Amino acid sequence: MGCARGIPMTKAALPILTVLAAIVGIWYLAVAPMNIRVALDTVERTGAVVTPEGSVERRAVSVWRLMAQNREHVSAGYALDRPRLPTPAQVGGELWKTTGEMAAKGRAWSKRSLIYHSWITLRSTLWGFVLGTSIGIIGAIAIVYSRVADLSIMPWAIISQTIPIVALAPMIIVVASQLGVESRGVPKAIISAYLCFFPVLVGMVKGLRSPEASQLDLLKTYDASGLQTFLKLRLPGSVPYLFTSLKVGIAAALVGTIVGELPTGAISGLGARILIGDQFGTPLAIWAALFAAAILAGLLVTVLDVTQRLTLGRMGMRA
């Protein structure tokens, strides 16, 4: 991440690893109280003695007392098929089972593989990202060069982001399907472009306005045309701002795609896996899809981060 730059790797990594280890530790500890009721129900069904008997009677007892009274059954909570809170190992196992293991068997594109669903989500995200970034950049150029656009677009761009897109998402999908757009990808890409264009717009307006008056004056003394000023000064000057907002934008685009998949009965994509996992009561599938989404977000931001450093290095700017 950003602040690791320039510091020796080990020094920066140690605190992060410690915090990560602490999070995993707390997670493991939390599994016992979260799962104790389900665990006791399960072992009771296999004939084990549980105090107090009966799942209805246990509802009145706190989880801590249940754990103290049934110490030998606490471990059962760590190996449930349908846990309220799975252990990190269970999530990792499920993630591996639906990605690496299936890929090794040559079934990476099967409907049950998370690689396939990640690809569906990634595709819509990238389309939305391209669309949103284009709208953001064009809007920013209009705002910088036209006062009417500045006055009329900017307030509505802000208002557009305060409208929760999830409310609109089902409508966008209804309208798109009525208009004859069969592909599920189009409405998802629109939703993700809606979330993605704003950071790009704001960043690019800042970036295109970043050249100082003296620099603009210098180009005027060179008798540079408006287009030349744009291409040789404003555009290169905006690149650092562009990359910073692209990183925010791609994360927003991914959120948009997943939001577009959640409420709409989609059948493929990571959001759809979460939805289906909820309907079929398989929490492990939900957690695995969540982690796949997190990994995808991390990869996308990292790719942009590396591109940013390479580009800015080439352009002679400090990344």
Binding residues for another protein, per CB under 8 A? 1-4, 12, 15-20, 23, 84, 147-148, 151-156, 158-159, 161-168, 170-171, 174-175, 178-179, 248, 251, 254-255, 258-259, 262-263, 270-271, 274-275, 277-278, 283, 286-287, 289-290, 293-294, 297-298, 301
Residue pair 173/266 in contact (Cβ under 8 Å)? The answer is no
Q: Which amino acid is at 60?
A: A
Residue 83, preceding peptide bond in cis (omega within 30° of 0) = no
The conformation of residue 72, written as its DSSP 8-state character, comes to: G
* Shortest spacing between CB 62 and another protein, in angstroms: 16
Q: Rounded to whole angstroms, how far apart are CA atoms 138 and 123?
A: 23
Q: Take residue 283 and report the two structure tokens written for it.
A: 């929490």
- Dihedral, CA of residue 99, residue 102, residue 108 and residue 114, to nearest 10: -30
Nearer to another protein, 177 or 215 (CB): 177
Contact, 290 vs 274, CB < 8 A? Answer: yes
DSSP state of 73: G
Nearer to another protein, 103 or 297 (CB): 297
Which residues have CB under 8 Å from 184's CB, separation 6+? 173, 266, 268, 269
* Cβ pair 219, 229 in contact under 8 A: yes
Q: Of 168 and 224, which has the nearer Cβ to another protein?
A: 168
Task: Report the nearest approach of another protein to the CB of residue 240 (Å).
Answer: 18
Of residues 86 and 233, the one with the C-beta less far from another protein: 86
Between residues 137 and 258, which has the closer beta carbon with respect to another protein? 258
Q: How far is the CB of 315 from another protein (least distance, A)?
A: 25
H helical segments located in 163-316: 165-178, 185-208, 213-221, 226-229, 235-261, 270-279, 283-314
What CA–CA distance (Å, rounded) separates 27 from 44?
Answer: 25
How is residue 136 written in tokens?
A: 């953001």
172: closest CA among 185, 159, 161?
Answer: 185
State which residue, 68 or 171, has the beta carbon closest to another protein. Answer: 171
Task: Considering the complex, state which of residue 3 and residue 60 has its C-beta at the smaller distance from another protein.
Answer: 3
Least CB distance from residue 163 to another protein, whole Å? 4
- Shortest distance (Å) from residue 248 CB to another protein: 8
HSE-up (13 A, CA, CB side) for residue 143: 24
Q: How far is the CB of 171 from another protein (least distance, A)?
A: 6
In the complex, least distance from residue 217 CB atom to another protein, rounded to whole angstroms: 23
- 54 vs 265 by CB, closer to another protein: 265
Give whichever of 49 and 163 is closer to another protein, judged by the CB atom.
163
CB of 183 to another protein, least distance (A): 18
How many C-beta atoms surround the C-beta of residue 131 within 10 A?
Answer: 18
Q: Smallest distance from the beta carbon of 218 to another protein, in angstroms? A: 26
